[in-house]
Amino acid sequence: MSKSRPPHARRHGRLAASTVALLLCAPQANANAMVGPGAVDDRTAIEAEMIRMVEAGAPGVAVTITEGSRSRQAAEGVADLVTSAPMPAEGAFRAASLTKSMVAAAVLRLVDDGRLSLDDTLDRLVPGLVPDDELITVEHLVRHTSGLADYTVTLEEETPDEYGSRTFAPVDLVDMAVALGSVARPGAAFHYSNTGYILLGMIVESITDRSLSEVLHDEIVRPSGMTGTSLPVTDPALPRPHPAGYLVVDGQHHDVTDINPSFAWASYGVVSTAEDLQRFFRGLLTGALLSPELTALLRETVPTGHELWPGYGLGVEEMTTTCGTRLWGHTGAIPGYTTMSFATEDGERQVTVLFNQQDVSQEGALVSIGSANIVNLEFCGVPFVDLVTPPAG
């Protein structure tokens, strides 16, 4: 493992484009071969996929699968490439863009309370920060249809060692995006932008006159029964136990576990655990956190153009499966960690996958695709892309 200063790597907050491209170009699994868990020993198939991910380069992989009150966890590989300590099945990690689902839920609770409207425009809430603020609404920010550029394009001009040792104010991140110019008219189309969620965090703080960390704790973490989730603003340390996090550049693993997360903040800065993420999504999808009206609106989506994640709702991604089961949750990536957590519409069945690296190369896509394969194996009995079984003949 290299301990040298890591070069920068592209794609913050969500899965790398190379992963999506591999999923869309590879032949899909036969959805009629098995139509659900139990058709074969799906647990063995999931374990095989975890092993394949480690063999493809992931230091460690952890999976949590829950159905009703029953939960099972498994881990493969190592938490630390220096000590070879085993990967914990349950531990803390940077949840990356699953943060967006929590921030969106906090915004929607303000809507339920009558303190905010999805139609409110930025010129009223946080005036003077972005062009066309009189045209951009809260809903545009939540759905990624604001037309604002993604500030991480500028952030990625530095290495994680550089930007992860600095403290950014939220307005610094917004200014980066403004300097890039707009990418579309407000409301015209889906363009994934971390900038929108930084602005949402600023809006929450402005309305409540409290820090976003406090609001998330009181409005999301505590009501959901989460016990290991927080939004650190500048603290680089993770609570124990946790796996080390690695950035892969040119095939080399660089330890980026301790990093100042101010660059991610309201967009992808939350620290959590698999069990906590599942508690949150269960509460969000079943109406424990929001009114029936907003819980329903949560799943009204705009098209994203991706076959695997075809729709984006109010802070949640829709995921397709080969057997037609609709899932809801989010994906995420941040230097050191890649995450995915999805659930059925009733929140009863959930799968959360973590591996402790970020690698945006084509080789890294062979690891990242394993998360989607594990989710599909649990719900459909087959992977999205079979990378384990050799071709016949």
The whole-number pLDDT of residue 162 equals 94
Average pLDDT over residues 332-350: 97
SS3 string, the chain, reads: CECCCCCCCCCCCCCCHHHHHHHHHCCCCCCCCCCCCCCCCHHHHHHHHHHHHHHCCCCEEEEEEEECCEEEEEEEEECCCCCCCECCCCCCEECCCHHHHHHHHHHHHHHHCCCCCCCCEHHHHCCCCCCCCCCCEHHHHHHCCCCCCCCHHHHCCCCHHHHCCCCCCHHHHHHHHHHHCCCCCCCCCCCCCHHHHHHHHHHHHHHHCCCHHHHHHHHHHHHHCCCCCECCCCCCCCCCCCCCCEEEECCEEEECCCCCHHHCHHHHCCEECHHHHHHHHHHHHHCCCCCHHHHHHCCCCEECCCCCCCEECCCCEEECCCCCCCEEEEEEEECEEEEEEEEECCCCEEEEEEECEECCCHHHHHHHHHHHHHHHHHHHCCCCCCCCCCCCC
Say yes or no to pLDDT of 300 above 70.
Answer: yes
Task: Determine how many CB atoms are found less than 10 A away from the CB of residue 288.
Answer: 15
Task: Determine how many CB atoms are found less than 10 A away from the CB of residue 305.
Answer: 9
Say yes or no to pLDDT of 6 above 70.
Answer: no
Cα 369 vs. chain centroid, distance in angstroms?
14
Say yes or no to pLDDT of 86 above 90.
Answer: yes
Q: What contacts 293, CB < 8 A, 6 or more positions away?
A: none
Average pLDDT over residues 341-370: 95
pLDDT category at 389 given cuts 50, 70, 90 is: low
State which amino acid sits at residue 354. Answer: L
The whole-number pLDDT of residue 339 equals 97
Instruction: Quote the CA–CA distance of 344 and 358 in Å, as a whole number.
Output: 27
Average pLDDT over residues 153-171: 95
Higher pLDDT, 23 or 174: 174
Instruction: Quote the CA–CA distance of 276 and 280 in Å, as a whole number.
Output: 6
pLDDT category at 153 given cuts 50, 70, 90 is: very high
The two tokens of residue 319 are: 């995921």
Kindly state the percentage of the chain with pLDDT values over 90.
Answer: 83
Instruction: Quote the CA–CA distance of 218 and 230 in Å, as a whole number.
Output: 11
What is the per-residue pLDDT across 230-286, written as a single tens digit (0 to 9) for each?
A: 999 999 999 999 999 999 998 999 999 999 999 999 999 999 999 999 999 999 999
Instruction: Quote the CA–CA distance of 101 and 324 in Å, as a whole number.
Output: 23
The whole-number pLDDT of residue 15 equals 58
Query: What's the mean pLDDT when you consider all of the chain?
Result: 90
Cα–Cα distances in angstroms (integers) from residue 140 to residues 144, 203, 224, 318, 384, in the given order: 6, 13, 26, 17, 31
Q: Are 115 and 108 in contact (CB under 8 A)?
A: no
The whole-number pLDDT of residue 363 equals 86
Higher pLDDT, 346 or 41: 346
What's the whole-model pTM score? 0.91
Q: What contacts 11, CB < 8 A, 6 or more positions away?
A: 17, 333, 360
Domains and CATH numbers, the chain: 17-380 (3.40.710.10)
What is the per-residue pLDDT across 109-142, written as a single tens digit (0 to 9) for each?
A: 999 999 999 999 999 999 999 999 999 999 999 9
Say yes or no to pLDDT of 24 above 60.
Answer: no
pLDDT category at 2 given cuts 50, 70, 90 is: very low
Cα–Cα distances in angstroms (integers) from residue 186 to residues 98, 104, 148, 203, 314, in the given order: 24, 18, 8, 18, 16
The whole-number pLDDT of residue 141 equals 98
Cα–Cα distances in angstroms (integers) from residue 298 to residues 284, 289, 294, 301, 342, in the given order: 9, 12, 6, 8, 15
pLDDT category at 14 given cuts 50, 70, 90 is: low
pLDDT category at 385 given cuts 50, 70, 90 is: confident
What is the per-residue pLDDT across 65-84, written as a single tens digit (0 to 9) for each?
A: 999 989 999 999 999 999 99
The whole-number pLDDT of residue 391 equals 52
The whole-number pLDDT of residue 178 equals 98
The whole-number pLDDT of residue 41 equals 57
Say yes or no to pLDDT of 37 above 50.
Answer: no
Average pLDDT over residues 335-353: 97
The whole-number pLDDT of residue 241 equals 95
Say yes or no to pLDDT of 12 above 80.
Answer: no
Say yes or no to pLDDT of 193 above 50.
Answer: yes
Instruction: Quote the CA–CA distance of 273 and 230 in Å, as a whole number.
Output: 10
Pair type for strands 60-67 and 70-77: antiparallel
Average pLDDT over residues 88-108: 97
Task: Flag the least confident range among 10-24, 75-89, 258-272, 292-306.
Answer: 10-24
